[in-house]
Each structure stands twice: as C-alpha cells, then as structure tokens.
C-alpha cells in the first residue's frame, strides 16, 4: 500500500468517539438539498423544485416518476446511481427519440455554506465522443467522482435491495463501499483504479501477452489499492458495529441489533499481518495465478472477492435466514448507524434516499423510523404510494405528489416548483 493510501486509511482509525447526536450543536451540521434541477432525465424533460431542510416525502402511483427523482439524486454520489444503469440509458425519450444529454443539479446547504453540485453526460449520439459523466462544483468542472464525496455523503435503500442478503456478494460490496465513501473521499478513486487495473490485467492475460513488465505494474496497482480498500472497509465496519451497539443501548431503537463483518482472503490476512506484508502477499498471488486467471477468465484473488456478512444478533441469525421484514429492518438499522457516525465524524449529516421503504415495515417501525430521522436531523428523501404511510412525520416533513412526470405540493404550500417553459425565471415556469 502506498504511503498516501496508508495515511488516508489511518485517518479513519482516529475518528471521534461515539456520542449522542442530540448532544452536538445542530447549527452547521445539516446538509440539505434546497433546489433540484433535472434536464432530460428519464421521464422528466425539465423540472425544478425548491425545498426547505426537512425530510422530503414523495407519493404517487407506481410509474409516476418518484424513483426517477431518487435516481437523479443518487448520481450526486460516485458510481452508476441506485439503478446501476448505463449512462446512455437515462436520457429523456420524446417522440421515440432519445435526448443527446442529461443533467442533474442541486443547490446544497453544506457545512461550508450554499454549494452548487451538478453532474450529467453529453454527446450520447456522437460516435466521435466518449460518453462520460461530467461533474461540476460551483460551476467548475472537476475530475473524479471523489470530488462529490468531499461535499456530500449519500446512501440509499431501494426495493431491489430487499434481496441484498439473498443474492450475490457484489451488491453487498457496493453497499458497504457506498458507506465508506462518506468517511473516506478517496475510497471511490481507489476503487476505480483497482477495477480499471483488474480489467487491464485480464485483457492482457486473454491476449496471451508476454509483457511481464506491464503485468507487474498492473499487479502492483491492484495490490496497493486492494489492500487500502480492504483496510478502509474493515475500519468502517468496526465503527459501524460500535455505533449499532451504542444506539441500541442508548436509544432503544425499534430495529434489530446487527453485527457486520467483511470476510475474504485479504480481509483475513489483514487481521494478523501488517498492511505492507499483505500487499506483498497479494502481489505474489497475482503473479503466481496468471495462468489460472487466464484460463478461468477472472481474477481469483483480491478484495473484489470479499463479502459483507450481517448477523441479526437479537436472534443470533444470519441476515439471509431472517424474514423479509427483518432484513429490511436490519438495513435501516445500519443506515441509521451510518448517519449517526457520519454526523460526528464529518460534522455534517448525510442525505439518505429511502425508496418505498415502508413496504415491509409495520406501523411501530414506521413510527420509529420517522422518530430516528427527526432526532438525527437528516434530510431523508422517502417515496411511497400512500401519504398515510408517513403520517408519523407530521409537520416535520415536506410532502409532494408525483404524477405523470410532474411534481406538486401535497396540501398546498409555498414551495416553488417549475417545469421548463417560457417563463422569465431562467427559462422555467412556476407551476405551484
């Protein structure tokens, strides 16, 4: 592991001790989206709406466009969004023709004041231009998804994640990596470098390349970044376990007690060996497994083979053996612990996206979820088909109706919601 990677991961291990969030000064801690703009995104040709800092509830029929708004927000984090979609599949389609670009922008209340974040793609139809995401911070185009995590932390739960504990390990790795992004802004760039080196090495092996020098360079990148990834995951999981235990003891939350562990070859080595020794071991494994990796078409060693194991400690039962409702409750408990830790660590709350989160929660747990979100001071975004599912929030949330790619305030109000038209407000027309 490089010195810089070691020092960056080491900073995680010096995080603030756990304390009750209610004891912290709230002023300056809250991150909140105050305006959202969409252009050519999914079923939205153009949309703008302005918000306050309270939790946001979006209700409407299935297919109305609620999850599309959540997905748009998720692109303000590293990766391919909550649907893990290809960039070219997102642009608005009108008259059976897809738009040539799409964009998402927000104005964000942050610990450093009002900030403008944006992302999108262009040249979708061009054969001469490579499709890639553009990221801007206060109007300045920046390189690397890690720039987003320096300003905004975000995690989400979706209906597709209801089977997170039942299906393959890749989804669980993405889940824990997204949590790590909040504590380590360089985790995203290390992950991208690691995966790029894996692909390049496998291409060389497939081509029967004899370029051993270049293979060694790639394997060095894999080893240094791979051990850093494992170390960061290990540290954040350790802190999450402490937060889960603390919250259960201090607040008695109505969610299962959980224990997490990242398990894999590299993770096991890190428990008993210095990081540099594990790097050397992974580098040697890469070199000795070239022939077998060429034959199998995949890389057998590295943190991309690790898995996140979760246990419901109330029942001493692995998460995959729990009921669907219990699995959902376990995920919520982990997300709330993450929000608690992050508020202390970064002195700023994350944005949490909870898509159709009430589907498997009884009334008692829905009430507990609302109470926890309010106590943590989070601007959570929640979707559902029926507003009554969120009545526990009362006046502590802002409610919107979504129908046919339009958004309106539920019950009236003063928020400004715009569709792009011929109005004088930056080309948008106020509709509520």
Percentage, residues of the chain above pLDDT 90: 65
CA-wise closest residue to 382 among 363, 366, 403 = 366
Q: pLDDT confidence of 2, banded at 50, 70, 90?
A: very low
Q: Residue 292 has what pLDDT?
A: 96
Q: Residue 10 has what pLDDT?
A: 41
How would DSSP label each residue in 134-155?
EEEETTEEE-STHHHHTT--EE
Element (H, E) at 344: helix 324-346
Beta-carbon count within 10 A of 86 CB:
9
Q: Residue 1 has what pLDDT?
A: 41
Degrees, nearest 5: CA angle 168-80-36: 135
Instruction: Measure the CA–CA gap between 396 and 387, rounded to whole angstroms.
Output: 14
Between the CA atoms of 242, 248, 250 and 252, what dihedral angle is there, to the nearest 10 degrees? 170
| Residue 145 tokens, joined | 């998804």
Task: Using DSSP, state whether 75 is helix, strand or coil.
Answer: coil
φ, ψ of residue 92 in degrees (nearest 5): -55, 140
Give domain status of residue 21, yes or no. Answer: no
Containing domain of residue 195, as a range? 3-14+31-430
The most distant pair of C-alpha atoms in the chain lies apart, rounded to whole Å, by: 69
| Residue 380 tokens, joined | 């959570």
- Burial of residue 159 (number of CB atoms within 10 Å: 0-12, 13-18, 19+): middle
The count of domains in the chain is 1
Instruction: Measure the CA–CA gap between 176 and 428, rounded to whole angstroms.
Output: 39
- Burial of residue 210 (number of CB atoms within 10 Å: 0-12, 13-18, 19+): exposed
Q: Residue 201 has what pLDDT?
A: 96
Task: Using DSSP, state whether 210 is helix, strand or coil.
Answer: coil
Q: Residue 227 has what pLDDT?
A: 98
CA-wise closest residue to 251 among 74, 80, 134, 376 = 376
| Residue 116 tokens, joined | 């403008």
The structure's pTM equals 0.86
Mutual orientation of helices 324-346 and 169-183 as an angle, nearest 10°? 20
Residues 6+ apart with CB under 8 A from 396: 54, 55, 370, 374
Query: Does residue 127 carry a pLDDT above 60?
Result: no
Q: What is the pLDDT of residues 61-119, one digit of tens each?
A: 999 999 999 999 999 998 889 999 988 889 888 767 778 889 999 999 987 789 999 99
Instruction: Measure the CA–CA gap between 54 and 415, rounded to whole angstroms.
Output: 12
Strands 140-142 and 93-94: unpaired
Q: What is the pLDDT of residues 379-411, one digit of tens each?
A: 999 999 999 999 999 999 999 999 988 999 986
DSSP code at position 349: P
Beta-carbon count within 10 A of 191 CB:
26
Ordered alpha helix ranges (H), 144-211: 146-149, 169-183, 187-206
Query: Does residue 339 carry a pLDDT above 50?
Result: yes
Q: What is the pLDDT of residues 170-179, one digit of tens each?
A: 999 999 999 9
CA-wise closest residue to 325 among 360, 352, 281, 351 = 360
Give domain status of residue 22, yes or no. Answer: no
Query: Does residue 17 carry a pLDDT above 70?
Result: no
| Residue 337 tokens, joined | 């612990």
DSSP code at position 100: S
Instruction: Measure the CA–CA gap between 147 and 136, rounded to whole angstroms.
Output: 9
Provide the CA 382 distance to its chain's centre, in angstroms.
Answer: 15
Give domain status of residue 23, yes or no. Answer: no
6-34: string of b/e by CB count within 10 Å (b at 16+)?
Answer: bebbeebeebeebeebeeeeeeebbbbbe
Q: What CATH number should be reported for the domain holding residue 52? A: 3.40.50.300
Give domain status of residue 346, yes or no. Answer: yes
For residue 138, is it left (φ>0), alpha (ψ between -120 and 50) or beta?
Answer: left
Give domain status of residue 26, yes or no. Answer: no
Task: Using DSSP, state whether 370 is helix, strand or coil.
Answer: helix
Q: Residue 32 has what pLDDT?
A: 95
Mean pLDDT of 293-316: 96
Instruction: Measure the CA–CA gap between 414 and 49, rounded to whole angstroms.
Output: 11
Give domain status of residue 25, yes or no. Answer: no
How would DSSP label each residue in 11-37?
HHTTPPPP--GGGS--TTT--EEEEEE
Q: What is the pLDDT of residues 37-67, one digit of tens each?
A: 999 999 999 999 999 999 999 999 999 999 9
Strand partners, 49: 36, 417
Q: What is the pLDDT of residues 361-384, one digit of tens each?
A: 889 999 999 999 999 999 999 999
Give domain status of residue 99, yes or no. Answer: yes
Give domain status of residue 298, yes or no. Answer: yes
């Amino acid at each position: 592991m490089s010195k810089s990677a070691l020092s960056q991961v080491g900073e995680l291990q010096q995080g603030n001790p756990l304390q009750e969030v209610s004891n912290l000064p709230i002023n300056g801690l809250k991150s909140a989206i105050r305006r959202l703009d969409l252009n050519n995104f999914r079923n939205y040709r153009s949309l703008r709406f302005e918000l306050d800092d309270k939790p946001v509830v979006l209700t409407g029929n299935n297919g109305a466009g609620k999850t599309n708004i959540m997905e748009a927000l998720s692109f303000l984090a590293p990766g391919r969004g909550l649907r893990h979609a290809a960039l070219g599949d997102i642009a608005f389609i009108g008259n059976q023709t897809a738009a040539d670009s799409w964009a998402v922008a927000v104005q964000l209340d942050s610990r450093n004041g009002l900030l403008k974040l944006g992302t999108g793609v262009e040249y979708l139809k061009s054969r001469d231009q490579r499709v890639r995401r553009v990221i801007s911070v206060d109007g300045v185009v920046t390189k690397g998804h890690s720039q987003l995590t320096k300003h905004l932390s975000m995690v989400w739960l979706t209906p597709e994640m209801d089977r997170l504990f039942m299906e393959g390990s890749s989804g669980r790795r993405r889940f824990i990596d997204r949590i790590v992004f909040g504590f380590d802004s360089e985790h995203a760039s290390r992950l991208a470098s690691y995966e790029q080196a894996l692909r390049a090495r496998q291409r060389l092996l497939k081509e029967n390349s004899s370029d051993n020098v270049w293979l060694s360079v790639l394997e060095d990148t894999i080893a240094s970044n791979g051990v850093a990834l494992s170390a960061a995951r290990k540290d954040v999981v350790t802190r999450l376990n402490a937060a889960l235990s603390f919250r259960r003891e201090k607040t008695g939350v109505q969610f299962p007690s959980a224990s997490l562990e990242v398990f894999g070859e590299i993770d096991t080595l890190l428990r008993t060996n210095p990081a540099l020794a594990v790097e050397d071991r992974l580098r040697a494994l890469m070199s000795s497994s070239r022939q077998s990796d060429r034959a199998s078409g995949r890389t057998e060693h590295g943190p991309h083979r690790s898995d996140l194991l979760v246990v419901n400690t109330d029942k001493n039962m692995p998460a995959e053996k729990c009921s669907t409702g219990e699995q959902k409750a376990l995920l919520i408990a982990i997300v709330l612990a993450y929000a608690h830790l992050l508020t202390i660590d970064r002195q700023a709350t994350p944005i949490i996206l909870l898509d159709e989160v009430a589907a498997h929660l009884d009334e008692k747990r829905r009430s507990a979820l609302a109470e926890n979100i309010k106590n943590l001071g989070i601007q959570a975004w929640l979707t559902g088909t029926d507003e009554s599912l969120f009545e526990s929030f009362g006046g502590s949330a802002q409610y919107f109706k979504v129908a046919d790619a339009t958004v309106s305030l539920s019950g009236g109000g003063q928020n400004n919601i715009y569709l792009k038209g011929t109005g004088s407000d930056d080309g948008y027309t106020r509709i509520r």
